[in-house]
Structure 1
Amino acid sequence: MEQFEDPPAEDDGTNDVGELKQFVLAHTRGQRVTDHEDVLARIRTDAEGDGSWAAEWTRSARALERDGRLLDACRHYTMARFPFVDGPARQRALDDTVRTFDQWRRGDRDIERLEVDLPTGRVVAWATGMSDGVRRPVLIVSGGIVTVKEQWASTLRAIRRLGMAGIVTEMPGVGENTLPYDRDSWRMLSHLLDHVSDRADVADSYALALSFSGHLALRCALEDSRIRAVLTAGAPIDTLFTDRRWQATLPRITVDTLAHLMGKEAGSALGELPSWALSPDQLRALTIPVRYVACDRDEIIPGTDVDLLARHVRDIEILRHDDVHGAPAHAAETQLWLIRSLLRVRRVKAPVHLVIDLLYRLARRRAAAAG
C-alpha cells in the first residue's frame, strides 16, 4: 500500500488527512484514477488553500479538463468532493463532477439522466439501455456512503455489453440525492424501478450495491420481488448497527459521513442505527441469490456480519480477501468476480461469460502472486 506523509499538527480541517488518504485508495484504484499518488503527495491539510484536499484534487482535475480528458477530470473532481460536501470547495467539486460527466456522456446518446421526485427529496441517476424501445433486464448500481453516481461511468457501457439496462445512482444524502438517510431509505430502489417500468423489464432486476447500499438492497429485496439477486461487497448487516463497542472503533471518517447523511450530530447518529439491522429471520426470508465480497481486515464491517450471512441466507456465496474495507489491493479481482456472479445467477451462456471467467482467474492469480 502507498505510504504518504502524515498531515501537519496544525491541520484544522474537517477530516483527518491520514484517514482521507487511507480510505480513498479503494476508490482511486477501483476507478483507475490517474496520477493519484502525485496528488496525494501534495496534500497536507483538509483546511483551505494550496496543499488542501479539495484544492489539490481540483487543480489536477482542471488540468485534465483543459486537455480534453473529461472522464479523467470527472474522476478527480469526484476525489475533491470526497468524502462528503462540507463547504463551498467540496460543493464546487461536486458541481464540477456532475458538469464534466454530463459533457462526457453527451458523446453517448444512450446515457440519459433520470430524476425521481419523492415526498422527502429527489433521487438522481444515470441510465442506459432504455432508449431503443427494447425492454431489457435491469441492473441497479450504487456505491456506499462516500460514492457518487458519476464514479460508475465505465460501468454504464459495460452494462450495455451484458445486454441489460442500467441505472447507476447514489445513496440518500450523497451527491445529488436529497433524500434523508434513514431506516426506510431502501424504498428508493423500488421507486427507481417504478420510474422506468414502462421502458425496461423491471420484473427481472438485479442490484450491484456496494457497502452501505448493499444493506439497502438486501432490505429492499425482502419487500420487492422484482429484485432477483443482490451482489455486494462490505455491506453492514447487524453488528455495525447494534454493537456500541464496535461502533467505538469505527474510523472517524465513517462516523462523520454517516452523521452528515442522516442530518445528525456525530454523537447521536449511531444511537439511531439499531433498528436498521437485518435479523436472522429476515436473512432466512431472502429467497434470492446473494453474492458477497468480505475483507478479513475490514475496519468498518465486522466478521460477525459475514458469519450471519453464511449461517442464515439460503443461497449465499462469499469471496474473502485478506484486505481492508473496499479491498483496494483486490480491485480487479473483486470487480470481475461480481460480474461473473451476475452472469451466473442470470445463467448467461454467451461467450462473454467465458471471457469474464478467464479474466477473473487471471486477476486472482496476479493478486495471489502479489501477496
Structure 2
Amino acid sequence: MDHLDELKAFARLHARGQGITERQVAAVLPRITNDEPGHPASWARVWTAEADRLARAGRPLDACRRYALARFPHHGDTDRARAQANCVRTFDDWRRRRGIGRLVLDHPDGTVACWTAGLDARRRRPLVVVSGGIVSVKEQWAPLLPKLARLGWAAVATEMPGVGENTLRYGPDSWRLLPFLLDRLAGRARVERTHVLGLSFSGHLALRAAAHDPRIRSVHTVGAPVAGFFSDPRWWPRVPGITVETLRRLTGTADEDALRRLLQDFPLGPDTLASVRVPVGYVVSSRDEIIPAGDQRLLAAALPRVRFKEFDDVHGSPAHLGPMRGWLIGSLLRARFGGGPGPAPVPAPPPVTAGP
C-alpha cells in the first residue's frame, strides 16, 4: 500500500472515531490525489477546505474534526501546521460554553497544553487523565470531559510528546510526563487518586508510570504497545509506514535504523509490569495491524490485576467505538469504586517527580 492509500485507509478509521460518517468521508477522499504540500488537491489542502467551509457555517466542532484529519498523521509541513492551529482554534470556539477549560503548562523541556473539566481547588475530585496515541490530538477526546466531570471526576485531556501542542520530544523517559502533570494539578484535583485513560501509545506511558507512581490508581487503554512492538524484528516489517514515519518524527531520529535502535529502550519487561499493582483495563483488537499478539500474552502473564475486552477489529477498534467507550467508562468506574480485578494493591515506591 502506498503512502496516499495508507492515509486514506487510516482516515476512514480515524474519521469514524470522531463521528464523521463514511458517507461524509467518501465525499472528500476522491478529491485528494496527492500529499504534496501546497498542491490544491493535496491531503491537507482538501481536508482544510472542508473544515473551512464548516467553520464558516458556524459548526466549529465539525470543522475541528476535519482540521484534525488535515494535520494527520502529524503537523510536519506548513499546511498541516496551519491545520493543527485551526484544529485548536475551532475547538476553543466550541468548548467555551460547555464547561471545558484550557490549561497550558511550562515543562523543563517545552510546553504541555490540556483541555480540562472539573478542576477545583475548593472541591478537589479524583482525577482522570485522557491522552491519545501518536496520531491523535487532544481535541479528539476532549468532548468526553464534561461527561467525566458529571460522573464526579476532575478530567484532563492532553497529548503525547510531539503530538499536537505538546512540544516535548518522545523518548524512553516520556512516561515522566504523567508524574509532571500530577505534580502541577495537585492543588486542583485529588491526584493521589488518579486514573489514566491512555489510548494506544499513551497506554504504554501510563503502564510505565504506574509502576513507579502510587498516585496512579488504575490504567485503561486500547491497543497499547508493551514490548514486542518495540523489540521484535519479525514484527517490525508489518508495521504501517505511517506509524514508522510518525514515530521517527516524534522521536527526532534521523532514519528508520536510528529509530529502531532507540526503540530498544522502550519495552516493558515482566519485572516492570509486575510492579503495576493497580487495576488495568485493556481493549484488544483481534486484527490489530500495529500491536503484536504477544504483547497481550505478556500482560496477561505479568500484570497482577488485568482485565481484557476483545473486539474483532483493527487497531483502536474504531468500528466498535460505542461499545468500546462504554467498556472503558465501566472499567474506570469499577476501578474508582474498588471493583477492579485481582488482589488488593500493595505499597508502591514514592512518587517520581518529572525533571528535564
Q: In the alignment, which residue of structure 1 is the partner of 2:17?
A: 30
Match of 2:31 in 1: 42
RMSD of the TM alignment (CA)? 1.6
Specify the alignment match of 1:346 in structure 2.
336
What is the one-letter code of the residue matched to 2:268? L
Cα contact 2:121–2:187 (8 A) shared by 1:
no
SS at match of 1:46: coil
Match of 1:292 among 275, 282, 301: 282
Distance 1:29 1:258 in 2: 23
| Deviation of 1:96 (Å) | 0.4
Listed as ranges, the matches of 1:79-94 within 5 Å are 79-94=69-84
Of residues 236, 239, 264, the one that matches 2:225 is 236
Instruction: Assess if the C-alpha contact under 8 Å between 1:138 and 1:164 holds in 2.
Output: yes
- Deviation digits for residues 240-290 of structure 1, max 9, x if unmatched? 111122112211100000000001123211211112100011111211001
Which one-letter code corresponds to 1:54 in the other structure?
Answer: A
> What does the per-residue CA deviation read over 1:46-66, in whole Å, with 9 as the maximum and x for residues that have no partner?
114232111111111011111
Alpha-carbon displacement from aligned partner over 1:262-319 (angstroms, at most 9, x marks no partner) = 0112321121111210001111121100100111211110000001011111111111
SS in 2 for 1:245: coil
Residues 240 and 348 (structure 1 numbering): CA distance in 2 closer, same or farther, change over 3 Å?
Answer: closer
Q: Partners in 2 of 1:45 and 1:305 — Cα distance?
A: 35
1:280 equivalent in structure 2: 270
Q: Is the 8 A contact 1:204 1:228 kept in 2?
A: yes
Counterpart selection for 1:251 from 236, 240, 246:
240
SS of residue matched to 1:254: helix
Determine the structure 2 residue equivalent to 1:203.
Answer: 192
- Kept after mapping to 1: 8 A contact 2:125/2:152: yes
SS at match of 1:93: helix
1:113 is paired with a residue whose SS is strand
Which residue does the alignment assign to 2:253?
Answer: 264
Pick the aligned partner of 2:113 from 106, 124, 129.
Answer: 124
Q: Which residue of 1 aligns with 2:4?
A: 17
Conservation of the 8 A alpha-carbon contact between 1:105 and 1:111: yes
2:253 counterpart SS class: coil
Cα distance, 1:22 vs. partner? 1.4
Residue in 2 aligned with 1:63?
53
Q: In 1, Cα distance between the equivalents of 2:14 and 2:6?
A: 13
Aligned position for 1:134: 123
**Between 140-149 and 48-57, the greater mean CA deviation after superposition:** 48-57
Where does residue 10 of structure 1 map in the other structure? none
SS at match of 2:157: strand
Structure 2: which amino acid aligns with 1:326? G
State the AA in 1 paired with 2:26: E
Q: Distance in 2 between matches of 1:326 and 1:62?
A: 28
Counterpart position of 2:306: 316
* Off by >4 Å, runs of 4+ in structure 1: none
Letter in 2 for 1:185: S
Long gaps (5+) in structure 1: 1-5, 7-14, 350-371
After superposition, the Cα gap between the structure-2 partners of 1:348 and 1:29, relative to the gap in structure 1 and judged at 3 Å, is: farther
Q: Decide whether the 8 Å contact of 2:120 with 2:189 is kept in 1.
A: no
Determine whether 1:74 maps to 2:64: yes
Q: Which runs of 5+ in 2 are unaligned?
A: 340-356
Following the alignment from structure 2 to structure 1, what is the Cα–Cα distance between the partners of residues 26 and 129?
A: 31
User: Which structure has the higher relative contact order (CA within 8 Å, separation 6+)?
Assistant: 2
- Residues 1:305 and 2:295 aligned together: yes
Which residue of 1 is the match for residue 42 of structure 2? 52
Q: Secondary structure at the match of 1:208?
A: strand
Deviation at 1:103, TM superposition (A): 1.4
1-structure distance, mates of 2:77, 2:274? 43
Number of equivalent positions: 335
CA distance in 2, matches of 1:133, 1:292: 34
Percentage identity across paired residues of the two chains: 49
Please say if residues 30 and 332 of structure 1, whose CA atoms lie closer than 8 Å, have aligned partners that are also in contact: no
Give the partner amino acid of 2:332. Answer: L
Query: Hey, what's the Cα distance between the residues in 2 that align with 1:37 and 1:344?
Result: 39
Q: What amino acid maps onto 1:20 in structure 2? A: L
Q: How many angstroms apart in 1 are the aligned matches of 2:276 and 2:56?
A: 49
- Report the counterpart of residue 103 of structure 2 in structure 1: 114
**Which residue pairs with 1:352 in the alignment?**
none
Distance of 1:303 and 1:212 partners within structure 2: 15
Equivalents in 2 of 1:240, 1:348: separation in Å?
32
- Kindly indicate whether the alpha-carbon contact (under 8 Å) linking 1:26 and 1:331 is maintained by their aligned counterparts in 2: no
Shift of 1:348: 8.2
Deviation per CA, 1:147-179, whole angstroms, max 9, x where unpaired? Answer: 111111321111112110111000000011011
TM-score, normalising length from structure 1?
A: 0.87
